[in-house]
Amino acid sequence: MDEHPGTGPAQDDIEAVTRAVLTASRLPAAVSARSLAAVEEAITLPQFRMLVVLSTRGPSKLVVLAEHLGVQPSTAVRMADRLKAPGRGGERGRAGPVPGVRR
């Protein structure tokens, strides 16, 4: 048995797992940073998150979208309006209405 608590093979395993988790957690952040850089600061991080949720979950009501983003529905409406602003490639009416979706 080890004379000093917190040393030995078990502690080495904990440290190795901790290093692996920290290394793995950096990957999504790096991918997000590269993706945001690719849009040349045309959108904000919250808007990017909205686009990611929409791309993975498909069209949804703003209330549901707001829930997934952890924001109030009014905030989700403003975010969507900014994304659909002229010059962003998402002008209203371009793709037509989505059944069950307010806008």
The proportion of the chain whose per-residue pLDDT surpasses 90, expressed as a percent, equals 18
Give 50's contacts (C-beta < 8 A, 6+ positions apart).
65, 69, 76, 79, 80, 83
Averaged pLDDT for residues 51-64? 90
Question: Cα(86)–Cα(53) distance, rounded to whole angstroms?
Answer: 22
Lowest mean pLDDT among 67-71, 77-81, 85-89: 85-89
pLDDT band at 38 (very low <50, low <70, confident <90, very high): low
Alpha carbon distance 85, 77 (integer Å): 12
80/6: higher pLDDT: 80
Judge whether 54 and 60 are in contact, CB under 8 Å. yes
Cβ proximity of 35 and 48 under 8 Å: yes
Burial class, 79, CB count within 10 angstroms (exposed 0-12 / middle 13-18 / buried 19+): buried
The CA distance from 68 to 71, in Å, is 8
Least confident of 12-21, 26-35, 47-56: 26-35
pTM value is: 0.49
Q: What pLDDT does residue 102 have?
A: 57
Q: Where are the domains of the chain?
A: 8-38, 41-88
Mean pLDDT within 40-61: 84
Mean pLDDT across the stretch 37-42? 64
